[in-house]
Amino acid sequence: MSQEQRAVERARKAFCTGRTKPLQYRIDQLKNLQRFIVERQKEIADALKKDLNKSEFGTPLYETMGLEGEISLAVSKLAEWAAPRPATKNLLTVSDEVYIQPEPLGVVLIIGAWNYPWAVTLQPLIGAIAAGNAAVIKPSEVCVHTSKVMGALLPLYIDKEVYPVVTGGVQETQELLQHRFDYIFYTGNCTVGKVIMEAAAKHLTPVTLELGGKSPCYIDKNCDITIACRRIAWGKYTNCGQTCIAPDYILCDPSIQDRIIEEIKKSVKEFYTEDPKTCSDYGRIINKRHFKRVMTLLEDSTIAMGGQNDESECYIAPTVLRDVKPGAKVMQEEIFGPVLPILCIGNVDEAIDFINQREKPLALYIFSSDNKLIKHMITETSSGGVLANDCLVHFSVSSLPFGGVGNSGMGSYHGKFSFDQLSHLRGCLIKQLKMEGMNKMRYPPHTAKKLSWARFFILNQVELSKLGRWALFALLAVVVAVILQRYFAD
């Protein structure tokens, strides 16, 4: 038996014992996960340094602080999220219980990505644990050291039968996908996303796909360009541009292009010194393959800043391209690197058309001091999420659903959305066997009179939750009296 099959079967067996159902179990596991993050901060940071040259501070800032926040939210809210949720009744169900009961799905497969390996692999796990599922965790093999640490240390903290870590590459992932899961949560690219969805189709498994795309960044003439460029530079060059919601390219009026380039140069110098290669706060490209891919994208455009590189270190300097044409190589795929193309367009409506001619992105960035323009742009476009006047930070707001649309993905998570996404919301109607007289209207033999009564009851939706208790009883009394009268009149 392969390690994949063993992991899946053990997880399913453990799930079927019912041990993940009690809220206390889930809270304990979440707290253990929290402990893991805190106690093993050093091992996590060391692995990230080796894999992505992430700085010592980059780890908590971008990987673990967000996780700690989500765990803390889940622990404090779990009882509320998992409780039955009352639903609207109608006149016929006045005396019945009508509610939605969130339930675990079963065994969830979580496939992580390499760019924020802890954040994007463990954050879905938080939702899976909170919702009462078992989970098979498959970290990205591209992050060799992080995978190893996850595989070795995570089982020391959380229930290793219920949440096994399966390490390996494409083959191991394909082996996993042969098995049946109750949900698959994938973070990565479109191409593999399609493969995952197809594999899921065989077992009718629902999926969440957190993909990517080219996230446009529109800079209006009317805005604080200094602050805008600083925030954009931060959003772009963090993690060396390898962020699914990094601002991919800039759209702006030609008259501000030079100023933008100046301001970005200034910010890059403030952040990473004159020589980012020597700065410990600046990352590296994950591997040679991606290094070569990103370098190719520079070929047919004009470099305004940066361009220096060193293949032996997978180093690419923070780079800006100017006067980029829509047909340029850099505009044909998601860049996922520290290269920021600037395309000049005439006005906001041209920008909107440009964006709408392309696939729906994961994020849309709008920099403007004009709220009307911002609202206009939001209304006329579609994207996973929108952030005005900053980059990336909407990711950390737990009360906003984070996910794509169209080619950028399907499904969403964070906060309660993670819990709901990985639960089954079961509609429940609890009736009693009494009041059988009421049912007479619906039974055959059918008569015109019965039919008109039935129509009356079904067609009247009442927001009973809004009525006061006294109104409810009065209504019920009238209803019963009328029914009994009809019943006897029959």
Partner 1 sequence: MESQRQIIERLRAAFQSGVTAPLQFRLTQLKSLLSLLEDNEPQILEALQKDLAKPKFEAVLSEIDMVVNDLCYTINSLPTWIQPSYVGKNLATKLDDCFVRREPLGVVLIIGAWNYPLQLILAPLIGAIAAGNCAILKPSEISRATERLLAQLIPKYLSQECFAVICGGAEETKSLLENRFDHIFYTGSQAVARSILQAAAVHLTPVTLELGGKCPCLIYGRLDMLAAAKRLVWSKFFNAGQSCVAPDYVLCTPEMREELLPAIAKALSIFYGSQPKQSEDFSRIVTDRHWDRLMALLGKTQGRVVMGGEGSKEDKYFAPTVVVDLDGSDALMQEEIFGPIMPILTIESLEQGITFINQREKPLALYVFSDESQVVNMVLERTSSGGFCSNDGIVHMTLPGLPFGGVGASGMGSYHGRWTFETFSHRRGCMLRGWGLERISMLRYPPYTESNLSWLRWATSAKKKSWGVCSVM
Q: Which is nearer to partner 1, 230 or 322 (CB)?
A: 230
CA distances from 20 to 78, 131, 417, 420 (A): 13, 9, 19, 16
Provide the minimum distance between the beta carbon of 369 and partner 1 in the complex, in angstroms, as a whole number: 7
Q: Is position 431 an interface residue for partner 1 (rule: CB under 8 A)?
A: yes
Q: What is the rounded distance in angstroms from the CA atom of residue 185 to the CA atom of residue 72?
A: 22
Q: What is the rounded distance in angstroms from the CA atom of residue 455 to the CA atom of residue 445?
A: 16
Q: Is position 281 an interface residue for partner 1 (rule: CB under 8 A)?
A: yes
Q: Which is nearer to partner 1, 299 or 436 (CB)?
A: 436
Q: What is the rounded distance in angstroms from the CA atom of residue 384 to the CA atom of residue 409?
A: 8
Q: What is the rounded distance in angstroms from the CA atom of residue 95 to the CA atom of residue 476?
A: 9
244, 252, 314, 391: the catalytic one is 244
Q: Is position 46 an interface residue for partner 1 (rule: CB under 8 A)?
A: no
Cα 157 to chain centroid distance, Å, stands at 25
Q: Is position 317 an interface residue for partner 1 (rule: CB under 8 A)?
A: no
Which 114-173 positions form the footprint of partner 1 (CB under 8 A)?
A: none
Residue 425 CB-half CA count within 13 A: 12
Over the window 365 to 404, marking each residue x when it contacts partner 1 by CB under 8 A and - when it does not, the resulting string is ----x-x--x---xxx-xxxxxxxxx-xxx-xxxxxxxx-
Which 219-248 positions form the footprint of partner 1 (CB under 8 A)?
A: 223-224, 227, 230-231, 234
Considering only CA atoms, which of 326, 420, 471 is closest in space to residue 105? 420
Does 210 qualify as catalytic in the annotation? Answer: yes
Over the window 445 to 474, marking each residue x when it contacts partner 1 by CB under 8 A and - when it does not, the resulting string is xx---xx--xx--xx-x-------------
Given candidates 6, 13, 42, 202, which one binds partner 1 under the rule CB under 8 A? 202
Which 51-80 positions form the footprint of partner 1 (CB under 8 A)?
A: 55-58, 60-61, 65-66, 69-70, 72-73, 76-77
Does 244 qualify as catalytic in the annotation? Answer: yes
4, 63, 70, 210: the catalytic one is 210
Q: Which is nearer to partner 1, 13 or 325 (CB)?
A: 13
Under 8 Å between Cβ of 64 and 37: yes
CA distances from 450 to 93, 169, 431, 436, 484 (A): 18, 65, 22, 15, 13
Cα 41 to chain centroid distance, Å, stands at 24
Of the listed pieces 41-49, 156-164, 407-415, 479-487, which binds partner 1 according to CB under 8 A? 407-415
Q: What is the rounded distance in angstroms from the CA atom of residue 66 to the CA atom of residue 245?
A: 16
Which 79-98 positions form the footprint of partner 1 (CB under 8 A)?
A: 87-90, 92-93, 98
Give the residue numbers annotated as catalytic, written as ranges: 210, 244
